[in-house]
Amino acid sequence: MDRRRFLQGVTATLSMAALARMRAFATAPADTRKAATGRAGLTPAQWQVIAAVQAHLLPSEPEAPGAKDANALEYLMFMLGETHTDPMERALIRDGVERLERIVRKQGVDTFTRLDAAGRETALRTLEKQPEGRTWIIMLLDYLFEALLADPVYGSNPGGIGWKWLEFHPGYRQPPPDKRFFLL
């Protein structure tokens, strides 16, 4: 699915508060915006939550790479910080982490990373029942697929690890660093 079309569906399901935050964010002067977004406006603890969610959604196995093998966290950090990225995406990612953490606290634990595998599954399945939560999980899955299957020039899929796993052949010519999409 095309990302913009997907995001359009997302806005329909966002809470009013989140929408208000996004609007404030989108209209902030450029310098404020830059300051607010350092690493997309997520705290180190929130990034740890995302790393744990990524590992749960795409675990590493000896014969089949997972999120960590694909450098998925670094990829997401890079893409969210990239200037072409729609500010709405950053807001959506933060909103989802906050939703997940609220669910986790209701489970009696202070943060997602302290849950065991079963607890993480329960929390994510609960989040999935919220339309906004489901959308967030799909966004994370899409970023995982990008990290696993985009050209290694973007810093993920090291050595074509995802391509080799799924028997994909990249074709001629692969992009050199100066031809990455945001430099064209």
Partner 1 sequence: MNTDYDICVIGSGAGGGPIAWRLAEAGYSVLVLEKGPWFREADLCKDELACCRRPTYIPDQREEPRVVETEDDDGNWRARSTRRSGWNFWNGTCVGGATNFMSGYFHRLKPVDFHLRSTFGPIEGANVVDWPISYDELEPYYTLVEREVGISGRIQPHPHLEPRSTPNLPYPPLREHRLAAHVDRACHALGLQPFPTPRAILPHPAMGRSGCAYNGGLCGSSGCSTGAKGSSRAALLDRAVTTRRCEIRPHSMVKRLLSGPDGKVSAVEYFDAKGRLQRVDAQIYVVACQAIESARLLLRSPGPRHPHGLANGSGQVGRNLLFAGGGAGSGRLLYRRFSGKEADALREFGTFINRSLQEWYIIDDSQFGPKSKGGTIDFVHRHPAPIARAHHQIEGEHGLLWGKPLKRRLEQHFREGPYIKIEAFCDWLPVADCFVGLDPTVKDKWGLPVARIRTGQHVQNLRVGWYLAEKGAEVLRKMGAENVVAFAASTPPTNLVAGTCRFGNDPATSVLDHECRAHEAENLFVSDGSFMPTGGSVPYTWTIYANAFRIADAIDRQLHQMT
| Residues making contact with partner 1 (CB under 8 A) | 1-8, 11, 56-59, 61, 64, 66, 84, 86, 121, 124-125, 128, 134, 137-138, 141-142, 145-146, 148-151, 154, 162-163, 165-176, 179-182, 184
Nearer to partner 1, 105 or 179 (CB): 179
Nearer to partner 1, 5 or 44 (CB): 5
Beta carbon of residue 6, minimum distance to partner 1 (angstroms, whole number): 7
Beta carbon of residue 94, minimum distance to partner 1 (angstroms, whole number): 19
Beta carbon of residue 99, minimum distance to partner 1 (angstroms, whole number): 15
Residue 173: is the preceding peptide bond cis (ω within 30°)? yes
Nearer to partner 1, 44 or 132 (CB): 132
Q: Could you tell me how many helices (H) and strands (E) the chain has, helices first?
A: 9, 0
**What span, in angstroms and rounded, lies between the C-alpha atoms of 126 and 136?**
13
Beta carbon of residue 119, minimum distance to partner 1 (angstroms, whole number): 14
- The tokens of 162 are what? 């995802």
Residue 3: is the preceding peptide bond cis (ω within 30°)? no
Nearer to partner 1, 31 or 167 (CB): 167
Closest CA to 81 of 133, 136, 24, 143: 143
> Which amino acid appears at position 21 of this protein?
R
Query: What Rg, from alpha-carbon coordinates, does the chain have?
Result: 17
